[in-house]
A and B are shown apart, each in its own frame.
Chain A
C-alpha cells in the first residue's frame, strides 16, 4: 500500500516499520517520485526513488540485526519531526546505539517529499571503521 492518504504521523510510523522489516519496495511506495533525502554522512542530497533504493539497500546491508523506532513525533501541517532510537549490530559484532532526529515534509496527498536526518555520526563511524 502506498503512502497516499495517510497522515504524516501514520506515514512516519509505517516508514520505520518497513525499514525494520527491510522492505525496500514498501519504503519506496511512501515517497513522492522526486523525493529527497539528506544526511550528514552523504555529501549531496539523494533525489528520486532509484537513489533512495540504493541508499536503503546499502544502509541495511551494514547490519546483522537492527531495530529502530520513533520516540516522539511532532506534526505541524504538512511537516513533521521524529526522534528516532536505533540499535544495531554490525556483521562483525559491533553494537551501535544512536538517537537521531528526522525532519519530514509531505506532499498534499501524504507522500514523503523530503527527509533530513540530523545525526551524530560518531557512533556509526566508530562501528563501521
Chain B
C-alpha cells in the first residue's frame, strides 16, 4: 500500500508537536510493514543546501526529493520538500505578523534568498494564497506519482489533499491534530473553518488525535460520527545518549510550564496557581518556558501577583534546551484550555517528571499516572502542585509508574491503527466500484 502524505517538518527542524507527531507516525508506519509513504512537506528554504532542488509547477516551486533513513528499523522513506512559507500552528493573524517581520528582519530563517521562490517574490502576505499555491503543487505531485491513498495533516494541507484526490481519484484520509476552535479560543476565523470543513466533507475518513477532538469534529463541523476515528499519538523513545548540559543552579524545587504562551495553553492559570503555592511554602520556583503572544501580559501579571522573583521566563526553548529544562523540573504543569492531544506531558513523563494536566487535553484520555484538574480550577491545580512537592510518596509513585506507562506508548501501535483505517477505506472504495471494474 502506498500512501501520499502531506505532512509537516522533518528533523532536524522540528519546532513543535505537529511535526513530532508526523515524524513519529511516518516512522511507525515504516516499521509495521506493508505501507510505503511518500512524504510531502512544505519548507521555507533558508540556510540549507539547495543542490538537490528541482523546480516544479507553474510557479517554479522548488522541490527537493530526499531520502530519510530511520536508523533503528533500517528502513527509509522518500520525501519531497516543497518550497513554501507555510508553517504549522499559525492562524491568519499570527501569519501576518510573521510575514511582516520578514520584510524588516533579514536574519529571519523564513526569508527566501535566491528568488527561485516564485510566490515569495510577489508576496502578498496572504496565507490563503500560499495554501492555494501549495495545492497546485500537490496536484502536480499527485499526477506524477502512483499511490493508493492520500493522507493530509491539519487544515493547511487539506486543500492539497483535496486537489490530489480530485486529480487521482484516490481516497483521502485527513488527520486532525487541532481545530480552529482549539487554536482561536472561540474567535473562529470563518475562512479557516471553511477550509477545515471542506476537508472533512471531502475526506473519506477522518482521524482525530483524541475523543475530545473527535467530538469537536462531530459537533462543531457536523460530521457523521461513523466517519471519524480516534488514534492517539505516541512518543518517540528517549535518546539515551542525550546528556544534560545544564545543571540546576538552585536548591529549590522547580515547577514548569512548557509550551507556547498563548490563550490555548492557559498560562494565566499556571500563574494564579503558582501564586497560591508561594503564599504557603518556600523552596519552590516556577518556570514558564516558551514564547507567545501572551508572554508580556504574563510577565506583567507575575509582577502584579508579586511573585516576579519566584517565576522565571525563559523564552522559546530549542530541542536540547527542552531536555535540560525537563531534567531540572520536579513537576510539569500543562493547564491547557483546549489541547487536542498534548505531547509535552508525555516527554516530561519520559524524563521522570510527574505531570499535572488539564482534563481539557486529549492526552488526559491516554495516561492514568498523572494528576488531572480542570484548567479553570486554579485552587485544585495549586493543591496538586503542593501535594506533589510536599508528600513524597505520591511524587515517587507518579514518577515511576508514569515513566513505565509512557514507555509503552509506541508509535508502532498508533501506526497499526492508522493502517486499519487505510484498509477499511480502501475496502469501502473497492466495494463501491461498479461490478465490471472489480477484478
Co-assembled chains A and B? no
